[in-house]
Amino acid sequence: MKNIKSVNSQIFRDIVAVSKQKELEFNNGQDGAIILSLLVMFFTPFLLLNEVRQFLQIDYSFAAMASIAVVSLILTVILYKVFKISQKFADKETLLNSLLSMYVPNNKAEFERFKVETRNEPTHFFELINEWISTEKLTYAK
């Protein structure tokens, strides 16, 4: 039981941390992480294939480098889809919804009120979650 509470409190800490960040900054950080992942997924096979080219003593030519680039690009697309990179680096609202679905609230009545309000006014999601967080924090202060 204690382990469940610690996992739940960690999820709540994650919710608080994500909600504190500005949406644009958070989403830009996620975009940067996707770009960095794509670069790593492209250049790793590119450099490995280039080493294989050198080992096999294939001349440095446009055709050789273009084929290495194409193979690397195909591998990048496959890895992107297999690892579902776009889902791993979701935008702020998607991540908060995911965290909220895993969280078991201490104040269930307040959480239900929060869910009803977000259904009625989805455009005020970030304001509503900040209000809910402030009331939920009171349950952890006890």
Residue 129, phi-psi category: left (phi > 0), alpha (psi -120 to 50), beta (remainder): alpha
pTM of the predicted model over 0.85: no
Average pLDDT on 119-140 reads 84
Beta-carbon-side half-sphere exposure of residue 34 (alpha carbons within 13 Å): 17
Q: What DSSP string describes 74-137?
A: HHHHHHHHHTTHHHHT--HHHHHHHHHHH---SSHHHHHHHHHHHHH-GGGHHHHHHHHHHHHH
Report yes or no: 45 and 78 within 8 Å, Cβ to Cβ.
no
- Give the confidence band of 5 by pLDDT, cuts at 50, 70, 90: low
Answer yes or no: is pLDDT of 110 > 60: yes
**CA–CA separation, 71 vs 45, rounded Å?**
8
pLDDT at 55: 93
Where exactly are the structural domains of the chain? 2-104
